[in-house]
């Protein structure tokens, strides 16, 4: 099966061609995905100027880019559209104006090319990025029951799956998402957008115990998260001259000061914040994995690109759940892409069949369960 994936839920216009091949392994056929092409047009530079995404600007960029990106994906895969078996498109959650561009384009293509169409939840796409890894032979595909930690700019969820396409959200953030907290802290420090990659880079030069920051909800008897208090704690630290020796002016000033002391201070703040956020994510994931006795623990979403999180969760799973398998996507597949939408689309096509293009609609608040 050859799947065309289309993703426009936020600020990345993406198209990918993914082929599913059944390979014989240990006397059983196991699905193996091959990414024939994956093209992404990022709007990061545009949104960096405004310090965040302006929905109308994002939608206009998607409209400009969507057809050339799909065309490039077909050309890179050396495929004619006749070879596409199914079109998978993100139907939510996300920005309504952005989602509509991808969905309406997919519907037009389904109609004119006479192809089946499938709607995929963006978060299940992130989870299914873990199956794309199975293409590197030797790597084990995720085993059920599994626990997936989905950490992105808009979501932080712990999802239990007992079989394909079966989702039980057992924990989620009560306020800010993990990626959102990285973005907001970077903004407080005047570091730019998106905050995650900048903070984690600066954190490598900082001391992780330089500042005592809270680990919200870490010991509570549930699997929910809260990151807004952690962000506020960073804000108070920035303002608290007795601890940070910063000028009593607006926090943004500190990024503009160049001296070594200021740089080290920023690095220490980034490192202390990153450690606090990741401690909570790792601790709660391990607790849930133990409770539900899962066979695999999966990491996914934009924040899964964070090296400290990747290493910490991997080490902790190995130590505390030695019988469990740990899976994480390659760096390119952590942030938004269309290959993950195609992978999830394959399972929808196999288990549920396609949808009627005339009835396909988007839902900006589409929940996984």
275 forms part of the interface with ligand KG4 (CB under 6 A): no
Residue in 153, 206, 329, 345 binding ligand KG4, rule: CB under 6 A = 153
CB of 333 to ligand KG4, least distance (A): 10
Tell whether the torsion through CA atoms of 162, 167, 171 and 176 is positive or negative: positive
Applying CB under 6 A, which of residues 7, 61, 124, 183 lies at the interface with ligand KG4? 183
Q: Is 183 annotated as a binding residue?
A: yes
The answer to whether residues 163 and 180 touch, using CB atoms and an 8 Å cutoff, is no
262 binds ligand KG4 (CB under 6 A): no
Q: Which one among 90, 152, 285, 324 touches ligand KG4, defined by CB under 6 A?
A: 152
Q: Is 303 in the site for ligand KG4 (CB under 6 A)?
A: yes
| Nearest residue (CB) to Zn ion, 180 versus 336 | 336
Residue 306 site contact among ligand KG4, Zn ion, none (CB < 5 to 8 Å, cut-off depends on kind):
ligand KG4
Can you tell me which of 31, 116, 197, 229 binds ligand KG4, judged by CB under 6 A? 197
List interacting residues with Zn ion (CB under 5 A): 152, 336
Q: Does 363 show up as a binding residue in the annotation?
A: no
Phi, psi (deg, nearest 5) at residue 9: -75, -25
Annotated binding-site residue? 125 = no
196 is in an annotated binding site: yes
> Of these partners, ligand KG4, Zn ion, none, which one is at the site of residue 183 (CB under 5 to 8 Å by kind)?
ligand KG4
Write out the binding residues for substrate: 150-154, 183, 196, 306
Write out the binding residues for Fe cation: 122, 126, 336
Residues found near ligand KG4 in the complex (CB under 6 A): 10, 152-154, 179, 182-183, 194-197, 200, 301-303, 305-306, 335-336
């Amino acid at each position: 099966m050859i799947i065309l994936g289309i993703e426009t839920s936020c600020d990345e216009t993406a198209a990918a061609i993914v082929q599913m091949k059944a390979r014989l392994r240990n006397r059983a056929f196991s699905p193996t995905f091959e990414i024939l092409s994956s093209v992404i047009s990022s709007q990061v530079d545009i949104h960096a100027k405004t310090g965040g995404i302006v929905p109308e600007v994002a939608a206009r960029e998607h409209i400009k880019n969507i057809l050339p990106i799909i065309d490039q994906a077909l050309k890179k895969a050396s495929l004619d559209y006749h070879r596409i078996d199914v079109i998978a498109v993100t139907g939510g959650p996300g920005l309504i104006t952005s989602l509509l561009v991808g969905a309406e384009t997919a519907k037009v293509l389904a109609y004119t090319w006479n192809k089946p169409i499938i709607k995929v939840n963006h978060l299940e796409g992130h989870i299914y990025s873990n199956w794309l890894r199975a293409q590197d032979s030797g790597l084990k595909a995720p085993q059920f029951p599994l626990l997936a930690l989905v950490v992105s700019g808009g979501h932080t969820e712990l999802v239990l799956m007992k079989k394909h396409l079966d989702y039980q959200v057992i924990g989620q953030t009560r306020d800010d998402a993990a990626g959102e907290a990285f973005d907001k802290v970077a903004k407080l420090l005047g570091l730019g957008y998106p905050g995650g990659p900048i903070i984690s880079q600066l954190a490598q030069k900082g001391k992780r115990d330089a500042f005592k920051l809270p680990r919200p909800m870490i010991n509570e008897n549930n699997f929910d998260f809260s990151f807004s208090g952690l962000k506020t704690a960073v804000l108070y630290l920035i303002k608290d001259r007795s601890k940070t020796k910063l000028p009593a002016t607006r926090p943004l000033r500190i990024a503009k000061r160049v001296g070594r002391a200021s740089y080290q201070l920023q690095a220490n703040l980034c490192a202390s914040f990153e450690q606090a956020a990741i401690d909570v994510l790792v601790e709660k994931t391990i607790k849930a994995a133990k409770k539900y006795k899962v066979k695999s623990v999966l990491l996914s979403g934009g924040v899964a690109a964070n090296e400290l999180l990747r290493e910490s969760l991997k080490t902790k799973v190995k130590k505390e759940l030695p019988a469990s398998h740990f899976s994480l996507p390659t760096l390119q597949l952590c942030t938004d892409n269309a290959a993950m939408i195609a992978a999830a689309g394959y399972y929808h096509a196999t288990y549920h069949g396609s949808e009627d293009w005339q009835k396909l609609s988007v839902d900006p608040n589409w929940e996984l369960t």
